[in-house]
Amino acid sequence: MELSIHFHEKPCGVLNIDQERMSFSYLPDYIADGGPPISVSMPCSQQIWPDANTFPFFENLLPEGAIRQLLANRLGTAENNFSRLLQATGGDVAGAISIGAGPTQNNSPLPPPLSEHELGKVLEQIKTEPFLPNNKQGMRLSLAGAQNKLPVVIDSAGIHLSGQFASTHIIKPPSERFPGLVENEYLCMRAALHAGLNVPAVELRNFISADGQHHDCYVIQRYDRSTINGVTVRLHQEDMCQIAGIVSSQKYSQDGGPGFSELFNVLRKFTRPSALHQQELIKRLLFNLIIGNQDAHAKNFSLLHRDGIVLAPAYDLVSTLVYQQLQNRFAMPVGQAWTVKGLNKAALEQFKEESGVDLRRQASVLQRFIDSVLNAIELEADEVKERTWPENHKVLDQILVLSHEHALQVRRWLQ
């Protein structure tokens, strides 16, 4: 099967899928016009890019795990039928790509805004119908990740199902498995912003479930979208698995995914000024150590193609260690350390050797950053408690305790 690929709303190439093998080629006219490449791993040329480059790039645009299986079941196909999955959901993927049918010139108004009851129904529906692929709005979209999400358009009128429109925000509903996950991520993202990290805007929105109960959902503004004069424009991004040519099932270092060495090398190679983006990555590393985010894998780091290539804003900042059923090892080891307790001089030296970054030379600056992180978590925890339901405050208290414990260990490590 051949699927047309549009980039920044223009035809740019053809994706050929033969069973599970893929190849990609740019259109001659797109090459002649000097169009930008869809990936730093596939420069714009007459070359036919083979499966080794193409498959990881496009496979990583799809949801993962159980969500992919649900989506495949809903579409009546197999989860490895990539042509069907991409054709059905490729209209609004991460970045500036559209797969299959090109972007439609949709001059019709957005669907009416959802009431709190209607939002509750939709959030319940996506538990079995990820991304509502067959709804009456003609939605054709996909978001990578293993957690259920709802892409929407939010404007001054409220929350709209995006249909064929480019979505502007992503909504994550509460989790039945992990209590307080919404408040957890909201606190961590707000604290990251307060501590000086580059993060998208986040908020909490109320919805009403079928039993009449009020709940909060987590809303994050898409950093790969920009709204100008009421028109939403796609910005391009690619995650580190796409760049490294690693499929989503291998996103963890222990499974063959990229580590900090690869992340820093990518920043040195593609971003300018590289030192600025490397410093941001160092601070994200420390922030994740402090909050206990063991799930900071390669797909949670991306490049954003905007006014050059930059490190994309931080996302999916969550304290995973407050949930005992989750993995307690780092997604990417820090030197030889797989836990905060394993951070020692040997891990520091190995991290330096592998990444080319000497954290000890920056110790005084990083110690001050640790102070700002703790202050931010304490301040934001108080504010989040004031506006959220008391039954979800336990997880916030756990994050406070854990962050102080981890900060103490990280301080000692950097001395």
Answer whether 180's CB lies under 8 Å from 320's CB: no
Q: DSSP string of 104-167?
A: P---SPPPPPPPHHHHHHHHHHTTTSTT-TTSTT-------BSS--EEEEEETTEEEE-TTSPP
Answer whether 238's CB lies under 8 Å from 150's CB: no
Distance CA 265, CA 293 (A): 23
Distance CA 182, CA 268 (A): 34
Three-class SS of residue 78? Answer: coil
Please give the structure tokens belonging to residue 320: 């995973």
H/E stretch holding 212 reads none
Distance CA 136, CA 132 (A): 9
Please give the structure tokens belonging to residue 25: 């080629």
Nearest Cα to 72, choosing from 84, 61, 60? 84
Angle at 130 between CA 393 and CA 303, to 5 degrees: 75
Beta strands in 10-130 (DSSP E): 10-18, 21-26, 97-99
Which residue in 295, 316, 371, 397 is the catalytic one?
Answer: 295
Give 21's strand partners: 18
The yes-or-no answer on residue 295 being catalytic is yes
Long-range contacts of 305-309 (CB under 8 A, 24+ apart): 305/36, 305/95, 305/96, 305/235, 305/236, 305/237, 305/238, 306/235, 306/236, 308/271, 308/272, 309/40, 309/270, 309/271, 309/272
Answer whether 219's CB lies under 8 Å from 154's CB: yes
Annotated active-site positions, please? 295
